[in-house]
Amino acid sequence: MQDFLLSIYPWLKIGHVIFMVFWLAGLFMLPRQCIYMLDHEPGSAGEAKWAVRMGKLRKIILSPSLIIVWVLGLTIAYSIGAFSQGWLHAKLALVLALTGYHGWLVAQTKKMARGQRPLSEKRLRMIGEVPGFLLVLIVALVYLKPF
């Protein structure tokens, strides 16, 4: 099995990077969509439109990309025998944190779709930077493999 995975390794890596980009793009977009929703009164037509848009982003891009990134990433790690390497442990911890952020953000958007406003515009702008910060650390670990 490992020989087969190594033979398709470049394709696994290509898929992993592509779906990581989709996932991160969605995580950058979702807080911005929340900010746009704040301009509309709860129960208004404008709010309903943003709720539909956020739901589509979650269902069509974010959740499928998250699953594919995890499956391909773990497959790649298995195929190259990276589970014993420290850099991978650190990367997995950061990706787990990013996954937790994803889940938390999805919960916040669902609250907003129900008319609640759990986050201010300022807070949404601040949390919108989380994926970028984690991305910098993850990419550095993957390319530098410092430990």
How far is the first Cα of the chain from the last one, in angstroms, to the nearest whole number?
27
Rounded to whole angstroms, the Cα distance separating 7 from 22 reads 25
pLDDT given at position 2: 84
pTM for the full model?
0.94
Residue with the two structure tokens 């952020």: 101
Structure tokens at 51: 């709720």
- C-beta of residue 58 within 8 angstroms of C-beta of residue 109: yes
Annotated binding-site residue? 91? yes
pLDDT given at position 129: 97
pLDDT given at position 141: 97
Nearest to residue 47, comparing CAs of 100, 113, 110, 102? 113
Residue with the two structure tokens 């938390």: 104
Q: Domain-by-domain residue ranges, the chain?
A: 2-144
Rounded to whole angstroms, the Cα distance separating 131 from 134 reads 5
- C-beta of residue 43 within 8 angstroms of C-beta of residue 115: yes
- C-beta of residue 83 within 8 angstroms of C-beta of residue 77: yes
Condensed to tens digits (0 to 9), the pLDDT of residues 57-84 reads 999 999 999 999 999 999 999 999 999 9
Rounded (5°) CA angle 81-75-86:
45
Annotated binding-site residue? 16? yes
- 10-residue mean pLDDT series, the chain (147 residues): 93 98 98 96 96 97 98 97 97 98 97 96 97 98 96
Rounded (5°) CA angle 15-57-135:
50
